[in-house]
Structure 1
Amino acid sequence: MTMKFLVALLIVAPSCSFAMNLQEYLNAVSSKHKTIQSLDVQKEAADLRKEAGDISLVPVLQANAFYSEDKSPTNQWVSFGADESKSYGGTLGLSKSFSSGTNVALSAQAAEFQNPGLNPLLGDFQKFGTGSLGVSISQSLWKDFFGEATRMRWATQDMSNAAEKGSYDLQKKSVMVQAEMAFWDYLYSVENVSIARDSLERSRRIETWTRRRVNDGISEKADLLQSQALVASRQLALIAVEDDLASAKQSLRDYLELEPSEPLPAMTGDISKSRPLSSMVDGSRGRVVALEAYLASLDAKAKELAARQVDENYKPDLVLSGSYQTNSKENDLPAAAQKWGDTNRPTEKIGLNFTYMFDTDVKEAARNSSKKDALAAKLQSERKALESESSWVELNRRYSELSKRVEAATQVVGLQESRAKAQADLFNKGRSITNDVVNAEEDAGTAKLNLSRLKSEQRKMEAQGRLYIAIEDK
């Protein structure tokens, strides 16, 4: 960047207490832009949804209390002379499923029963209490054989989570790329205004020289009119580029989400400094792919795992279960609860439970639909991979060609400026006509603007490298 451009940047940019370079500007956009904030929140929500996928493994506590008065004629104790039956008590249970597919449940129960008027021969049942402690265990031996289904669900959730968060990263990078392009558009507009002001100043000097030559009788009035027309056209061009600069400023304000009362920080950057495309790619080594293609591959893998999970869910199941429960019977509830741990009268149970869903068209449709979704995602991923490889090669080719154009344009600017200076010297010596000077000035100005535009396009093309990542093939 030339010293003249730095001075022009400070003149054109709004006055403020600090200046921002590109990285500081991007950091500010990242922290203030509402869309990026929203995407960050959505990434956090994705992580929470992944964690919430284990909701079935959370311990569950159940408590129940009851009180009952039964005067129904169908009460089982009525036939034994009881007028009514009263009961009260409660249960407490704790169950926990494990990632191994094992389910464990603990329970405690205590209750008291009163049957006034009951036949004296059944005196033990006029008032009595019961209590029990129990434990039960079950384990899938087929569908969720020691946690197979849980591990598959975890793998699917991990892949889906990576794909979802990656999509938010892609959207965030897209915003950042657009923000960087706005940054370079602004610097280009600043330089454009600087060049337009220089061109206007030179055209005014030409007008002054021509006016003096006309007054001295050396030049014709037509030459003066031509130089005045040049001044007017340069003034018009300056108005246009100043309007472009105002739009570029507003774009920066929008990305920084500044309030109307907040000044726009001065932006500093070297529009002439190139950056290798590879330096913009995330990742230090590996094959370069478009982030969109990488996300498509993650989505395909997630859908493949989901299809396998559907198959797993429709497998037959064989569950081994066992339970053990103590039983106590005393005169009332407190006494029964005190003997919860009495193992003299236990209830023991062991069993096998087999479940099979018949292979109907409905079941096959459910399986095949998930498999076809996985196949479609795989085909889409393969297509994205081809497009990614092609786009990276094309981006590098275009960047190389643009670099050559920048180099050629730089030479053109040097030659055109030398030509314009030579024409001005000849004009001052009376050895050139106004038209030649004007043409040389216009050609030099056009060459500088073209070079500035090409450099801006080169910086914006480099920013597109942010949409690629380097991955190591496993």
Structure 2
Amino acid sequence: MNQGVLGILLLLLWQTPVSAMTLQEYLKIVESKHKTIQSLDVSKEAADLREEAGDIELVPTLVAGVNYLSDKAPLGQFALFGATESRTLSYNLGLGKKFSTGTTVGISANTSETENTGAIADPRFVKFGIGTLAVSLNQSLWKDSFGHATRLRWDRQEAATEAEKGSYDLQKKLLLINAEASFWNYFFANEALRIGRESLERAKKIEGWTKRRVGDGISDRADLLETQGLVSVRQLQLITAQDDLETYKREIRDAMELPDSEPFPKLDGDISQARTLSSMVDGNKKGRVVSLESYLASLDAKAKMFLAKEVEDAYRPDLVLSGSYATNTLKSDMSEATSNLTNTDLPTAKVGLNLVYMFDTDVKDAAQNAAKKDALAAKLRSERKMLDSDSAWLELNRRYVEMTKRVEAATETVRIQSARQKAQVDLFNKGRSITFNVVNSEEDVATAELNLYRLRSEQRKMESQGRLFITIEE
């Protein structure tokens, strides 16, 4: 045997067969390939980042600067001492930080050197350096008492972020449900195509038998036309089934974003395998089952509640405790002043307590009441959504039970119609049945089979609706 042929045979023998893609594998590919789903995942990441960015006011701030001043103004600071020009070079460095407790702390260092030209009356001001090192502190004792406003903002942002991410999850689940619907529609279309082909073959056999009976004088031409009409109907149904199959294949390609240049994947799914609705629900199985939409409404109500508290807190009176301490150094030049920044011989200290009060007017009351009413409206919407959710879950379970009964009844119908069709064909072959009964039984069994697989497909798609529910702790 030629070595090249032997090599090809060995390659074919050892080649790993391509495994069929299950529903879960198909959905995983859709989840990883679908651009809209990818955008939703990116949006969720952005929501987390926006929540983290809400603490931007707590980020330390560094301020550094250098300034040069040349002042020849006749009414300048040192012009009255005889200076014709004052030149000042200064450097400043400051660090500020607000803490989650509502405390604002700042530390700054400033140093400068000034040189005056002209007939200076006091020789100390011909050239001198100044240095200052200061620490300041501010603390709200009322409105933002030890971080109360910060904690409210955290709670609101957490609820709002969770609601925003939940909305993206809902959109993602809807896309996956549509993708799964295409999956089961594809299998139904495959079954419809198979049934159509088998029905067409049976119809052609009946036509052939009738032609022979007409030729033998047993049947008349009307019987032949009836069987030919059945063949024509079956051919039309087969064309429709083929068209439907191509439509669902296109939907699956689009869901997977699979280009036409790549072969259509082999799919593996059992359209007759039932799943419980509870198995499709996310979360702890022991909690309360609610729709994702109602859960998002509860999060929105929670965020509005915290927002109302924030608005109320923003208009409260404020009592601010402030204090500062600074060193002061006056030397002959900048370098000497800088080296003595920490000298506390000539300090400046300040302590203050300031009250800020906004009078209770209609405008203030309107702002606070508007936020409260928004929160109340969101709470009422949430409660209504929860009632609708309970009803929807019960209704989905009821419909699923009824669908199961319909599938069982349709299965029994297929069994009976198949037995009837075989019996009619047997009687027809023995000359004990008319053509109408055979054609009618053939139509009934095909209709029963199609109805069964349609119901099974609808049952699989109904199960996927469970993805729209989650379990929460009460």
TM-score range, shorter chain: over 0.9
- Which amino acid in 2 is paired with 1:411? E
Aligned to 1:19: 20
Q: 1:433 maps to which residue?
A: 434
Q: Which one-letter code corresponds to 1:227 in the other structure? A: T
Per the alignment, residue 406 of structure 1 pairs with: 407
Find out whether 1:419 has 2:423 as its counterpart. no
The equivalent residue for 1:266 is 266
Of 75-84 and 228-237, deviating more is: 75-84
- Aligned pairs for 1:226-375 within 5 A: 226-283=226-283, 284-375=285-376
Q: Distance in 1 between matches of 2:77 and 2:51?
A: 52
Which residue of 2 is the match for residue 123 of structure 1? Answer: 123
In the alignment, is residue 184 of structure 1 matched against residue 201 of structure 2?
no
Whether the 8 Å contact between 1:86 and 1:114 is mirrored in structure 2 is yes
Which residue of the partner structure matches residue 168 of structure 2? 168
Q: Which amino acid aligns with 2:391?
A: S
The CA deviation at 1:18 is 4.6
The AA in structure 2 aligned to 1:270 is: D
Distance in 1, matches of 2:430 and 2:392, equals: 56
When normalised by structure 1's length, the TM-score is 0.94
Whole-angstrom CA distance in 2 between matches of 1:159 and 1:230? 63
Aligned pair 1:49/2:23, yes or no?
A: no
Q: Which amino acid aligns with 1:470?
A: T
Q: Find out whether 1:66 has 2:67 as its counterpart.
A: yes
1:135 is matched by which residue type in structure 2?
Answer: V
Name the structure 1 match of 2:9: none
In the alignment, is the contact (CA less than 8 A) between 1:162 and 1:298 conserved in 2?
Answer: yes
Aligned residue pairs total: 457
Indicate the SS of the match to 2:84.
coil
Aligned counterparts of 1:78 and 1:266: Cα–Cα separation in 2 = 93
Which amino acid in the other structure matches residue 162 of structure 2? Answer: A
Question: Which runs of 5 or more structure 2 residues have no equivalent in the other structure?
Answer: 1-16
Report the TM-score when normalising by structure 2: 0.94
- Give, in angstroms, the shift of residue 187 of structure 1: 0.7
- Does residue 449 (structure 1) correspond to residue 450 (structure 2)? The answer is yes
- Over the aligned positions, Cα root-mean-square deviation in angstroms equals 1.2
- Secondary structure at 2:289's aligned position in 1? strand
Residue aligning to 1:79:
80
The answer to whether the 8 A contact 1:18-1:265 is kept is no
Separation in 2, partners of 1:433, 1:84: 126
Tell me the amino acid that sits aligned with residue 390 of structure 1: S
Give me the whole-angstrom Cα distance separating, in 1, the residues matched to 2:335 and 2:222. 121
Give the Cα separation in 2 of the matches to 1:430 and 1:290: 61
Instruction: Give the letter aligned to residue 387 of structure 1.
Output: D
1:141 corresponds in structure 2 to 141
**C-alpha distance after superposition, 1:306-363 (max 9, x if no partner):** 0001111111111111111111111111111111111111111111121112222221
User: Which segment drifts farther, 317-326 or 43-52?
Assistant: 317-326
**Kept in 2: contact 1:143–1:318 (CA 8 A):** yes
Conserved 8 A contact 1:136-1:324? yes
Farther off after superposition, 424-433 or 207-216? 207-216
Cα deviation for residue 219 of structure 1 reads 2.2
Show the counterpart of 1:154: 154
Kept after mapping to 1: 8 A contact 2:193/2:241: yes
Equivalent position amino acid for 1:261 in 2: S
Measure, in 2, the Cα distance between the counterparts of 1:80 and 1:459: 95
Note if contact 2:74-2:84 (Cα within 8 Å) is conserved in structure 1.
Answer: no
| Partner-residue secondary structure (3-state), 2:170 | helix
Q: Residues 58 and 98 of structure 2 are in contact (CA less than 8 Å); yes or no, is this contact kept in structure 1?
A: yes
Q: CA deviation at 1:221?
A: 2.5
What is the CA–CA distance in structure 2 between the aligned matches of 1:368 and 1:21, rounded to whole Å? 55
The Cα of 1:222 is off from its aligned counterpart by: 2.2
Deviations 1:66-113 (A, max 9, x none): 111111111132222111111111100000110011111110111001
| Distance in structure 2 (CA, Å) of the matches to 1:169 and 1:287 | 19
**1:118–1:126 contact (8 Å) kept in structure 2:** no
User: C-alpha displacement at 1:17, in angstroms?
Assistant: 4.5
Report SS of the residue matched to 1:264.
coil
| Residues 77 and 118, structure 1, Cα contact 8 Å, conserved in 2 | no
Cα distance in 2 for partners of 1:119, 1:108 equals 29
Partner of 1:213: 213
Are the equivalent residues in 1 in contact too, given 2:128–2:331 (CA < 8 A)?
A: yes
1:202 aligned residue: 202
2:101 corresponds to 1:114: no
What 5-or-longer segments of structure 1 have no aligned partner? 1-15
CA displacement 1:134-186 (0-9 Å, x = unmatched): 11111111111111111111011111111111111111111111111111111
